[in-house]
Amino acid sequence: MSFPILIIETLAGGRLLVLALVLPLLGALLAFSTGGRAARRIALVTALAGLVVAAAIALQLTSSAAALDYAFGGWAPPLGVSLRADGPAVMMLVTTALVIAATMVYAGVDFQPAAGQREGRSGLVFWTLLLALWAALNAIFLGQDLFNLFVALEILTFSAVPLVCLNGRAETIGAALRYLLFALLGSVLYLLGAGLIYGAYGLLDLGLLAARIQADAGAAPPALWLALGLMTAGLMAKTAIVPLHLWLPPAHSGAPAAASAVLSALVVKGAFFVLLRLWFDLVPVPAGWLLAQMQGALGAAAILLGGVMALRQTRLKLMVAYSTVAQIGYLFLIFPLAGADAAVAFITVGVALDAGTAALTGGLLQIVSHALAKAAMFLAAGRIAARLGHDRIDDLGGVGRAMPLTLLAFGLAGLSLMGLPPSGGFAAKWLLLRAAVETGQWWWSLAILLGGLLTAGYLFRVLATALREAPDDSAIADARAGTGPAAPGPALAILLLAGLSVLLGLVPLGYWELIQIGRPGLYQPLGMVP
């Protein structure tokens, strides 16, 4: 074995990756150290800097059409740890920065210390852990090392769980504890798998491991398969795919709206992104055909079960939480669809695509459009609940008149979740649907279509009720009389997220060009790689 041990920085762009990871971390430490009202100001400054860094990385990547790499301390893997920004990572970096910044604008005045207090409990915890969660997510998107990814997943867990029980009520503490147990089980299984892989190969770097696994194609050791099985199970528990979804609805609906937004939009996607890295970067999907079919089946079950459960809810926030269970299901269809015969090509919107690229593009687009739409939906639900003092769906009458901007945002986000054109959700589901049809796996297209119908069902129920006139004696009539116009910032932030989730579908369908950056030969099946 001869590896260069020390490498010297060549690209200044690599430093941007370090900043994407370290700036939110520094912000979290400073927010905790100073505390008080400064915590929020530090968070807002960090958000601004983080947005700039994410945009700069995206610009650098699209202009050079090559991935960015960085080795910490100049130590190249396998001795050191490296970061890498490829197309999918950059999509996630930008989405995360947008959702977190919008959430901060929304949460601007919530979590303020009470009058006469220097610092409140929920404020310190919220601002510190929101920044911590951001750092963890960026570490996951950029991470190239199995153990480094584990540490990132741990930070994600420890910053996400306390956000669930920020209101301190017994039932939300129970939901947070259940979430913690599921997440820790997932961590243990992941770590066990990473340890086994190190035992078999003596490597932790994804790139080096992938080369070794490709080299002994067909003769992979049993340790690799057991490790992948354990890690997949662990990450599924963290992603809350059916039947491991039981922790999600109480946790996501019980948290304050600003926390629910990031938990539902981003945190579950963090674990899923590691799953994508394992199955697309470490071992190509065709190698695990049966497992891919099983993952698809869980996805389809989640789409249907989540949809039916959402339809049966009487509380708005619980309904939105069950909708997340369903929308996560679509992501797991990537595995059987992208793993199918990659030679199947078809033309959609004037571009020739192979089925694998279409499925992966559709899946990543689903992650992004759901992140934007779900964050908007939870924030809108939070505003409605704050205004009405309740979130019973049947009593939402008058909301359309009292809070038109918020309801508009809710509706736009719903458009994307249902998958109606021209939204980003439509583009995502269309690509998945085409991939299912073209590869002859029609059974997945049934799940996609039925899921769309169920989504339309539960969302129209909310919209129809909200557009009705309020009865004169209802809370909304009182609320309208009592309060003047609210500050426009939060409503505009929600509208921005919802609008972006729709506009994603209008942007020329060039996502696969971005996704392909830094991933040559991704879709070649195991035997064909030179």
Partner 1 sequence: MTPTLFADLGLLIILLGLALLITAARPAFIAVAAYMAYGLVMALAWVRLAAVDVALTEAAIGSGLTGLLLLGAVAWSQRHTQFQARRLGLRPGIPRRAGAGRGLTLLVALACGGVSAGLAWVVLTLPEPAPSQVPLVQAALPITGLGNPVTGVLLVFRAIDTLLESVVLVFALVGVWSLASDPAWGGRPRSLHVVQHSGALVLLGQLLPPVGILMGLYLFWVGADAPGGAFQGGTMLAAMWLLVLSAGLAEVPAVASRRLRLLITGGPLLFLAVGFSGWAFAAGFLGYPPAWSKPLILAIEAALTLSIAAALAMLVAGPPERPTAADPQPDPQPERNQQRGHR
Residue 474 C-beta-side C-alpha neighbours within 13 Å: 21
Q: Which of residues 65-104 bind partner 1 (CB under 8 A)?
A: 70-75, 78-81
Structure tokens at 452: 């769309």
User: Buried b / exposed e across 313-338, counting CB within 10 Å, b at 16+?
Assistant: bebbbbbbbbbbbbbbbbbbbbbbbb
* Structural tokens at position 104: 């901060």
If binding is defined by CB under 8 A, does position 22 make contact with partner 1? Answer: yes
**64 contributes a contact to partner 1 by CB under 8 A:** no
What are the two backbone dihedrals, phi and then psi, of residue 82, each rounded to the nearest 5 degrees? -125, 160
Tokens of 520: 């040559």
CA-to-CA separations, 400 to 392, 465, 469, in angstroms, rounded: 15, 9, 8
Q: Would you say 144 or 416 has its CB closer to partner 1?
A: 144
Written as six digits, the tokens of 16 are: 């941007």
- Taking CB under 8 A as the rule, does residue 112 contact partner 1? no
Q: CB under 8 A: which stretch of 47-55, 97-105, 153-161, 333-341 binds partner 1?
A: 153-161
| Interaction residues for partner 1, span 384-423 (CB under 8 A) | none
Choice between 158 and 346, CB closer to partner 1: 158
Candidates 154, 177, 145, 298; CA nearest to 232 is 298
E strand spans, 336-379: 345-348, 351-354
How far is it, in rounded angstroms, from Cα 424 to Cα 503? 7
Which of residues 155, 183, 359, 470 is near partner 1 by CB under 8 A? 155
Q: In 3D, which of 144, 186, 143 has the Cα closest to residue 161?
A: 186
Q: Kindly identify the residues of this chain, within the stretch 315-374, that bind partner 1 according to CB under 8 A.
A: none
> Closest CB to partner 1 among 148 and 406?
148
* Contact between 269 and 92 (Cβ < 8 Å): yes
Residue 243 found at the interface with partner 1 (CB under 8 A): no
3-state secondary structure of 348: strand
* E strand or H helix at 85: strand 82-85
151 belongs to the binding site for partner 1 (CB under 8 A): yes
Least Cβ distance, residue 132 to partner 1 (angstroms): 5
With helix as H, strand as E and coil as C, how does 459-475 read? HHHHHHHHHCCCCCCCH
162 binds partner 1 (CB under 8 A): yes
Among 44, 52, 226, 486, binds partner 1 (CB under 8 A): 226
Nearest to partner 1 of 228, 447 (CB atom): 228
- Token output for 397: 């009458």
Least Å distance between CB 225 and partner 1? 9
Rounded to 5°, the CA angle 359-365-369 comes to 145
Q: Which stretch binds partner 1 (CB under 8 A): 219-227, 448-456, 459-467, 509-517?
A: 219-227
Region of 220-228, 268-276, 379-387, 427-435 interacting with partner 1 (CB under 8 A): 220-228
Stretch that binds partner 1, among 28-36, 249-257, 312-320, 362-370 (CB under 8 A): 28-36
Q: Which stretch binds partner 1 (CB under 8 A): 221-229, 344-352, 386-394, 449-457?
A: 221-229
Contact flag: residue 8 with partner 1 (CB under 8 A): yes
Q: What is the CA radius of gyration of the chain?
A: 22
Find the binder of partner 1 among 13, 20, 27, 28 (CB under 8 A): 28
Stretch that binds partner 1, among 92-100, 125-133, 341-349, 487-495 (CB under 8 A): 125-133
Residue 104 to residues 42, 140, 276, 476, Cα–Cα distance (Å): 11, 21, 28, 26
**Beta carbon nearer to partner 1, 29 or 475:** 29
Rule CB under 8 A: which of 174-203 touch partner 1? 192, 196, 199-203
When the beta carbons of 18 and 456 are compared against partner 1, the nearer one is 18
The minimum distance between CB 409 and partner 1, in angstroms, equals: 29
Q: Is 454 in the site for partner 1 (CB under 8 A)?
A: no
Residue 385: both structure tokens together: 């609940």
507 binds partner 1 per the rule CB under 8 A:
no
Nearer to partner 1, 32 or 346 (CB): 32
Q: Which stretch binds partner 1 (CB under 8 A): 155-163, 438-446, 465-473, 516-524?
A: 155-163
Q: For partner 1, which stretch binds (CB under 8 A), given 55-63, 161-169, 314-322, 391-399?
A: 161-169
What separation in angstroms does the CA of 133 have from each of 225, 226, 442? 30, 30, 38
* Sole window of 27-35, 52-60, 323-331, 395-403 interacting with partner 1 (rule: CB under 8 A): 27-35
Q: Which is nearer to partner 1, 7 or 467 (CB)?
A: 7
Beta strand residue intervals within 300-376, DSSP E: 345-348, 351-354
Tally helices (H) and strands (E) across the chain. 22, 4
How far apart are the C-alpha atoms of 21 and 111, rounded to whole Å?
25
Amino acid at 193: G
Taking the C-alpha atoms of residue 286 and residue 214, their distance in angstroms, rounded to an integer, is 12
Report d(CA 68, CA 49) in Å as an integer: 19
Distances from the Cα of 353 to the Cα of 184, 292, 342, 344, 347, angstroms = 39, 21, 10, 9, 6
Give the count of residues interacting with partner 1 (CB under 8 A).
68
> Could you say which of 63, 116, 290, 485 contacts partner 1 (CB under 8 A)?
116
Residues near partner 1 (CB under 8 A) are: 1, 3, 5-9, 15, 18, 22, 25-26, 28-29, 32-36, 70-75, 78-81, 116-122, 124-125, 128-129, 132, 139, 147-148, 151-152, 154-155, 158-159, 161-162, 165-166, 168, 173, 192, 196, 199-203, 221-223, 226, 230
